[in-house]
């Protein structure tokens, strides 16, 4: 039996077995990360942690700018319609959505509802002990997972479980 070597390049994931090359299955997905921007930046550390975690696992995060401390200044320079069109395009291209809903945000709620309408696997996480809208916690969608976390270790477990059981296999 030959060893199979897989590598990722700009064209996608390719595997080699001896002299034969073929495109191979890669469970990495494009994940839309959603977190409050205008609503408050109290959870910036958590946003940075989530984005770094997803990227370290090899996933693509088109919205990694949400975890940038300077995102408010950067977003002010972009017209509202351009932000809307950009974000909707990213949502349409995404395989899953992960949102931190610890800070109430109209934009985050809009993105979650849009993803669920498209049957996109969605994980909403929030810090234990906080009150979160029952429109999130009470939604019976089979595509929605809601979880609380106490610390980043528990948050990682929720993310890993979601990616393994929902985002990659749905």
User: Is pLDDT at 151 greater than 70 in this prediction?
Assistant: yes
Mean pLDDT lowest among 37-46, 62-71, 140-149: 37-46
User: Is pLDDT at 164 greater than 70 in this prediction?
Assistant: yes
What is the three-state SS of 39-82? Answer: CCCCCHHHHHHHHHHHHHCCCECCCHHHHCCCHHHHHHCCCHHH
The average pLDDT across 32-53 equals: 94
CATH class of this structure's domain 27-167: alpha beta
User: Is pLDDT at 2 greater than 50 in this prediction?
Assistant: no
pLDDT digits (tens, 9 = 90+) for 73-117: 888 899 999 999 999 999 999 999 999 999 999 999 999 999 999
In the chain, domain spans: 27-167
pTM of the model as a whole: 0.83
- Predicted local distance difference test score (pLDDT) of residue 40: 80
Strands of the 31-34 sheet, one edge to the other = 31-34, 96-100, 122-127, 144-149
């Amino acid at each position: 039996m030959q060893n199979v070597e897989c590598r990722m390049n700009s064209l996608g994931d390719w595997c080699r077995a001896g002299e034969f090359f073929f495109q191979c299955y890669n469970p990495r997905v494009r994940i839309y990360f959603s977190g409050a921007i205008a609503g408050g930046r109290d959870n910036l550390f958590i946003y940075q942690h989530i984005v770094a975690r997803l990227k370290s696992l090899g996933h693509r995060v088109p919205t990694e700018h949400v975890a940038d401390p300077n995102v408010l200044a950067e977003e002010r320079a972009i017209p509202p319609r351009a932000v809307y069109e950009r974000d909707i395009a990213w949502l349409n291209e995404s395989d899953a959505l992960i949102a931190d809903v610890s800070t109430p945000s109209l934009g985050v709620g809009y993105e979650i509802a849009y993803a669920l309408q498209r049957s996109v696997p969605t994980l909403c996480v929030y810090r234990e002990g906080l009150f979160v809208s029952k429109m999130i916690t009470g939604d019976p969608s089979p595509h929605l997972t809601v979880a609380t976390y106490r610390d980043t270790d528990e948050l990682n477990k929720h993310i890993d479980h979601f990616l393994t059981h929902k985002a990659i296999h749905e």
